[in-house]
Structure 1
Amino acid sequence: MKLVLETVLQGGMDAHLGRGHGEITDPGEAVDHCNGARAKTVVADVGPVGIEVPRDRDVLGI
């Protein structure tokens, strides 16, 4: 459950940023960046599940 949730969330972040996790952009390009993750607890059918939710650094103000 944890792996599935974190994979989906990372995929959403990759789509938001327009590139995959760890991919490098062109020098000088103004881009938003992934800025680590924060811990969250999700209540699922199997009980509470601790996950890491990726967060972005809002460089572009979007």
Structure 2
Amino acid sequence: ERLKHALEAGLLVTALDGLFWFGSQRIAADVLRLRKSGMPVVTTTAEVHDNLTGTTRKVPAYYL
């Protein structure tokens, strides 16, 4: 699957990335499935900026 390949390629993946690039609205569930299959996915936070409102927020992000 594309999420697995992105993580194996060393990318940091957020929920918004999951929605846009992988069509996943529940990336946390996909990450849990990968973890149960033995993949050591790590959760961290990433700061994202909203250009419309001018706000910056911390969101969960996943990597290997």
Instruction: Please identify which structure carries the higher strand content.
Output: 1
Query: With structure 1 as the length reference, what TM-score do the two structures score?
Result: 0.41
Query: With structure 2 as the length reference, what TM-score do the two structures score?
Result: 0.40
Larger Rg: 1
Instruction: Please identify which structure carries the higher helix content.
Output: 2
